[in-house]
Structure 1
Amino acid sequence: MSEIQYIISDLDGTLADTFEANYQAYKSVFGKYGFELTRESYRRCYGFKLDDLCRNLGFSFDTDLLEKIKEQKAACYPEFFSFLRPNMVLINFYRAFRQQGGHLALATTASRKNVLNILDYLQLGSLFDFIIVGEEVKRGKPDPECFLLALHRWGIGPEKVLVFEDSEIGIKAAEQAGLKVLGIRNGFYET
């Protein structure tokens, strides 16, 4: 195996346990429109882009309302940041990797506003060379688009890159991009 010089990290469930904060924010917003979101149903779709989340939950919204829901969720999300649990073991590893000259990127399908708010709250904004967010990709994971975009931004191939991911769809996306991937076990996807 070649020496790893680049790491791409996922955010939700990898860099931090964001499940409960996301669940509470979505539950609050969906409730305003008469839709009940259970923890179990959200767990099955955790990590999906909003349109995929709604489709998998059987929620039907027109494009304008979907955009409004996205904005309302982003606006109320910081109210639930007390539920965030940073993965300090991984964060400390990333810091040491950076100090040794390694390169880090964050690749997530979460919205830019949510990502920047989380990184600001956790004081991790300067940790990454760049971030890739949901607005920059047409397709969410398991499509490899976000990882391929990271490689393109660095101007490199996959040989010296390692991805840290927690979800099956994220792991599949990294593998489809030809990347080595380390799965982070966190219990979200266990039944």
Structure 2
Amino acid sequence: MKMPLPEGEFDAYLFDCDGTIADSMPVHHRAWLRALEPWGATFDEELFYAWGGRPPATVIAELNARQGLAMPVDEVNEQREKYFQELLPEVTAVPEVLEHIQDAYGKVPFAVVSGSARDSVTASLTALGLLDRFDVLVCAGDYVNGKPDPECFLAAAELLDVAPERCVVFEDTDFGVRAATAAGMAVVRVPPPWQRHPSDVS
């Protein structure tokens, strides 16, 4: 079923990537668990989804602090990304979001605004055959303050030369929704996998 847009006219569509365009969050969680296992770190599914939208380096640092560990941030992050790339063929697009992309493509400019690294975002969009749909990519490393700070969304609006209040954001996480709202943008909340695929949950 197509997700309704908020009321109003919009001059740009901004999309989170993981869990919004790409139905990749379960795959990301598996990659995280594999990368963390050698260090004895835990990262349960509830916390993983609650922290959705945070840059991976921030997640690793926080897990270190909470669990009294000293995992090397760069090394763990590289392993996590390696495992994700191996699992990438399993990722599909979120149908309800893909429908909006197909309907509006060529009518308004699109941007991806993600807490993931550019290589990861590019790989996901390429695997889905969607990379050429997006005029702008704003990824980890392109801004200082991650979601829920609005900086990344405001940067995307500026690159598209569209006023923030004329942008609509598609997001699946609390951090992302808070960031988009703080940027003065309308938001379409993308349900998590277990709400979109209730029949898959036993």
Q: 1:143 is aligned with what amino acid? A: D
Displaced runs of 4+ in structure 1, greater than 4 A? Answer: none
Alignment-derived partner of residue 98 in structure 1: 105
Per the alignment, residue 79 of structure 1 pairs with 86
Deviations 1:61-119 (A, max 9, x none): 46xx20121222222212222442311232132122013x2110000111111111111
- Map of 2:60 onto structure 1: 54
- Cα 1:163/1:41, change in 2 over 3 Å: closer
Q: 1:120 corresponds to which residue?
A: 126
Question: Cα RMSD over matched residues?
Answer: 2.1
1:185 is aligned to 191
Counterparts of 2:194 and 2:114, CA distance in 1: 17
1:45 alignment partner, one of 46, 51, 66: 51
**In 2 relative to 1, CA 181–15 (structure 1 residues): closer, same or farther, beyond 3 Å?**
same
The answer to whether 1:148 aligns with 2:154 is yes
- Mapped to 2, the partners of 1:183 and 1:158 lie a distance apart of 17
Residue 158 (structure 1) aligned to one of 149, 164, 170? 164
Distance 1:41 1:4, change over 3 A: closer
Q: CA deviation at 1:160?
A: 1.9
Where does residue 68 of structure 1 map in the other structure?
75
2:94 aligned partner, one-letter code: N
TM-score, with length taken from structure 1: 0.87
- Match among 108, 111, 115 for residue 117 of structure 2: 111
Distance change >3 Å, CA 115–CA 39, structure 1 → 2? same
Rounded Cα–Cα distance in structure 2 between residues aligned with 1:185 and 1:151: 24
How far apart are the structure 1 equivalents of 2:8 and 2:185?
12
- Aligned-pair CA distance for 1:181: 1.2
Aligned length: 186
Q: Identity over the aligned pairs, expressed in percent? A: 24
Counterpart contact for 1:8–1:107, Cα < 8 Å: yes
